[in-house]
């Protein structure tokens, strides 16, 4: 159904509002990292081999086939480590430095916002991080480490040959080394060769990301809650996310209730916030990496 209200697309009016704002949220999604070369989940690039990426992001998938799920996450770690933050990550990090009342709520696990030096106190990683690795038994063992090793264990190395994320590999001739492509043979990996917990030595390690059916990290939820209890919110920017996944998507409505105007930045002209557009919202259609530096310029300046 078409919304009766059309969003504003005028940058000057957004700038006016931003300049008056002190408490600003951003809900970030995979589209923020798209121009860094990382695929989004829904739509083009959403399939990993023949698997819907979301079907691999569950505790059940890991129980059924830990090797396949670790190959998926090993590949995502590899891609993320070989990607670079783009101008949107840097613009948001700069906004955080300039505006103490800015908080970014990121659904991304790719580590690109931290690598753009986004101040950690102003970045809530709602869905964890690919670079947190933890024992599957968080009740009794509780082991967790930060780990940027690539590969995490030898069995998770990308097929030998040419690095699948290099410029050279973008050439069709060597594309065959990209294991997200069904035409590339997936190396056989035994469970015994997967990473095991160094603390309890009994259980596998797993990626420290939030899977479907799991709760968001308590500390992160507490931080979001504390922010929401801080009073009026001027603005929430919804950047590069379909805003379809709960509870992340619910923070848009929470911010609205606290007075926030909504500004969506997305490539898809049909994307709209949950509940539709409301009077005073903005929509900027296009690549976040191009748009964000211009949108935030009145606060962050041109050079940073």
| Total residues interacting with ligand APR, rule: CB under 6 A | 24
Question: Both tokens of residue 144?
Answer: 């967790």
Q: Is 40 in the site for ligand APR (CB under 6 A)?
A: yes
Q: Closest approach of Cβ 216 to ligand APR, in Å?
A: 10
Give the one residue of 15, 17, 42, 49 binding ligand APR; rule: CB under 6 A: 42
Give the one residue of 8, 35, 165, 180 binding ligand APR; rule: CB under 6 A: 35
Q: Is 132 in the site for ligand APR (CB under 6 A)?
A: no
Q: Is 273 in the site for ligand APR (CB under 6 A)?
A: no
What is the rounded distance in angstroms from the CA atom of residue 184 to the CA atom of residue 165? 14
Give the one residue of 8, 25, 26, 41 binding ligand APR; rule: CB under 6 A: 41
Q: Closest approach of Cβ 85 to ligand APR, in Å?
A: 14
What is the rounded distance in angstroms from the CA atom of residue 58 to the CA atom of residue 134? 15
Provide the H-helix boundaries in the chain.
11-20, 59-64, 66-82, 87-98, 112-115, 218-228, 250-257, 288-300
What is the rounded distance in angstroms from the CA atom of residue 232 to the CA atom of residue 249? 19
What is the rounded distance in angstroms from the CA atom of residue 210 to the CA atom of residue 21? 32
Element (H, E) at 249: none
Q: Is 272 in the site for ligand APR (CB under 6 A)?
A: no
Element (H, E) at 242: none
Q: Is 241 in the site for ligand APR (CB under 6 A)?
A: yes
Positions that interact with ligand APR (CB under 6 A)? 29-31, 34-35, 40-42, 54, 57, 107, 127, 240-242, 244-245, 265-268, 271, 287-288
């Amino acid at each position: 159904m078409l919304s009766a209200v059309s969003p504003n697309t005028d940058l000057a009016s957004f700038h006016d509002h931003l300049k008056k704002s002190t408490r600003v949220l951003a809900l970030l999604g995979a589209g923020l990292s798209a121009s860094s070369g990382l695929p989004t989940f829904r739509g083009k690039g959403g399939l990993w081999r023949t698997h819907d990426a979301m079907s691999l992001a569950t505790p059940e998938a890991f129980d059924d086939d830990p090797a396949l799920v670790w190959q998926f996450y090993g590949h995502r770690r590899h891609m993320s480590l070989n990607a670079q933050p783009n101008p949107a990550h840097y613009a948001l990090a700069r906004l955080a430095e300039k505006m103490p009342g800015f908080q970014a709520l990121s659904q991304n696990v790719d580590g690109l916002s931290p690598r753009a030096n986004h101040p950690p106190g102003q970045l809530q990683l709602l869905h964890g991080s690919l670079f947190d690795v933890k024992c599957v038994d968080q009740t009794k063992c509780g082991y967790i480490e930060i780990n940027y090793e690539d590969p995490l264990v030898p069995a998770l190395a990308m097929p030998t040959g040419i690095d699948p994320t290099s410029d050279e590999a973008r050439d069709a001739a060597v594309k065959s080394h990209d294991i997200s492509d069904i035409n590339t043979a997936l190396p056989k990996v035994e469970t015994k060769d997967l990473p095991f917990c160094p603390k309890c030595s009994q259980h596998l390690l797993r990626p420290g990301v939030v899977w479907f059916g799991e709760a968001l990290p308590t500390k992160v939820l507490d931080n979001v809650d504390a922010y929401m209890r801080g009073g009026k919110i001027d603005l929430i920017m919804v950047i590069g996310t379909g805003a379809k996944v709960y509870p992340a998507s619910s923070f848009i409505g929470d911010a609205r209730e606290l007075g926030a105007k909504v500004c969506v930045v997305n490539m898809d002209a049909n994307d709209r916030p949950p509940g539709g557009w409301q009077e005073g919202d903005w929509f900027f259609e296009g690549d976040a990496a191009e748009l964000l530096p211009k949108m935030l310029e009145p606060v962050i300046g041109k050079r940073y």
